[in-house]
Chains A and B, each alone.
Chain A
Amino acid sequence: MTRETLEELVLAHQNEIYRYLRYLGADPPAAADLVQDAFLAAFQSAGAPDLADPRARAAWLREIARLRFLMYCRRRRSSPVAVSSEWLERAEATWSAEFLRDRDGFDYLEALQRCLEDLPGKERELVDLRYREGKSRAEMAERFQMSEDGMKSLLRRVRGALEACVRGKLGLGEA
């Protein structure tokens, strides 16, 4: 692979690989490091697929990124998630089937944005506190005078409602 090919690959896929690593559980600094490692590993690899096929090369880069993330987790004493090869394969299946769906995922992001704008007041406030202001579940639980487990369940229900809304907008039906 030439440096020009590498540059093309980075331009085309760095955002997806970063999002993918965040989805797997890497925090932002780790995701940025792992994106770099993944592209360098791809650069040095002799096993590149047909680079003219964007889906094949994206799947290949995700596979390299998964392996890098697995190594990262094994090096850490406290892994962000209980990572195993089987878990990573399930995560990949969800990413491919739900987020990408043989596309690039932007329609999913756009649908999520629209669903977020339609979210009722209290749910929107919860999302803003959690994702915009970066409040912990404990801080949010205290503010809403509920248990941390209760807040965890509530946030999951809000995400579930958002996901159902996204599926509706994308015409995916019930999962």
Chain B
Amino acid sequence: MSDERDRLVDSLLHEVAGGERPPDLREAILRRAGRRPWGSLTVGMAAAALLGIGAWIVLEPGAPPPPPSPAREILEVPLPREVQGFQGWLSGTLVSIEESSVVLDVRRASRSRSNRAADPRALEGRRVRLHLGRSSELSRQLATFRPGDDPVTADVWSERDEGLYVTRLRAGDHADPGDP
């Protein structure tokens, strides 16, 4: 029997023989999902936003909305092929801090030795979402930052196209300027 199959039976025996049951995490997950910034908009804020949109329609009926700038769109999963597997450092401006991610306006990307991305420079000039781990150290680091901080450097890694994950956040520009 392979190690994986032995592990499979071992893990299932905790449930079948030991009585361990998967916990119901629905409420906890939905509560955390509800804490996202757009989930906490008040009715007043939403009404104000609608009024603003209405005013814009009345005052500028002929003006088409500006097309979104590709450079300003937030790069999320799936990552473009050329940056999949990126491992290294990204420096730039911290745009926003959310519960489980931050958005960084990347000015410079430099790769570490374990980088597997074909073209890390494709991240430069883009806004990228960096997912946060749950380490208390990272939480402590994050508490010292505010949106708009510049320059900020994130130590980043990714696996295939699952997105970019930050393992450390530092003030200053620490992306390696000598990286080709």
Contact = CB atoms under 8 A, between A and B. Distances in A.
Given A23-B11, A72-B134, A98-B5, A10 B17 contact: no
A104 to B, nearest CB: 13
B10 A159 contact: yes
A127 B16 CA distance: 10
Interface residues of B, number: 49
B78 A7 contact: no
Contacts of B124: none
A85 B17 contact: no
A47 B133 contact: no
Contacts of A166: 9
B15 A19 contact: yes
Contact of A32 (B23, B32, B76): B23
Contact of B29 (A6, A64, A162): A6
A44 interface: yes
If over half of A's interface residues share one DSSP class (helix, strand or loop), that class is named, otherwise mixed; here it is helix
B20 A28 contact: yes
B4 to A, nearest CB: 4
B162 A10 contact: no
A64 B162 contact: yes
B148 interface: no
Given A40-B100, A163-B1, 12 more contacts: A3-B39, A7-B26, A10-B26, A19-B15, A22-B11, A22-B14, A39-B33, A43-B33, A47-B77, A94-B2, A112-B12, A132-B19
Interface of A: 3, 6-7, 10-11, 14-15, 18-19, 22-23, 25, 28, 32-33, 35-37, 39-41, 43-47, 63-64, 67, 70-72, 74-75, 85, 90-91, 93-95, 98-99, 108-109, 112-113, 116, 127-128, 130-132, 134, 156, 159-160, 162-163, 166, 175
